[in-house]
Amino acid sequence: MYIQGFLLAVPEDKKAAYAEVAMRAGHKFREYGVTEIVEAWEDDVQDGKVTDFRMATKAEAGEKIVFSWMIWPDKATAEAAHAKMEGDPFWDMDAMPFDGVRMMWGGFTPLVTMGRD
């Protein structure tokens, strides 16, 4: 298992547009081999004193935090998907409903996992 995590700020009034883009992209990632995708919209995100999600994304007034992750069977599948994205015209999207410059992401190898109840 290999996990890619994402953190970004999305204007609150762009929630539906973001969900639409996430759904379209999710279907494409399924074609590439992802096994699970979760897109989570801010519900209870507290302001911190030293750091927090808003500071990390440089969120502006009126923006909500999106925390998401994709689970791949392994790192090789995730890397192969990235290579497929490079030549796929599907990803030539005009405008995203958020500032992609402030989005962060990374790949992670699981350390501890527990099954769902």
Backbone angles phi, psi at 107, to 5 degrees: -105, 145
Residue 55's identity, in one-letter code, is: M
- Are residues 23 and 103 in contact, defined by beta-carbon separation less than 8 angstroms? no
Quickly state the pLDDT bin for 15 (edges 50, 70, 90).
Answer: very high
What residues does each domain of the chain span? Answer: 2-88
The better pLDDT of the pair 99, 42 is held by 42
Strand partners, 108: 3
pLDDT for 94: 67
Q: Partners of 104 in the beta sheet?
A: 7
Q: What is the pLDDT of residues 33-92, one digit of tens each?
A: 999 999 999 999 999 999 999 999 999 999 999 999 999 999 999 999 999 888 788 777
Look at residue 95 and tell me whether its pLDDT is greater than 80: no
CATH number of 2-88: 3.30.70.100
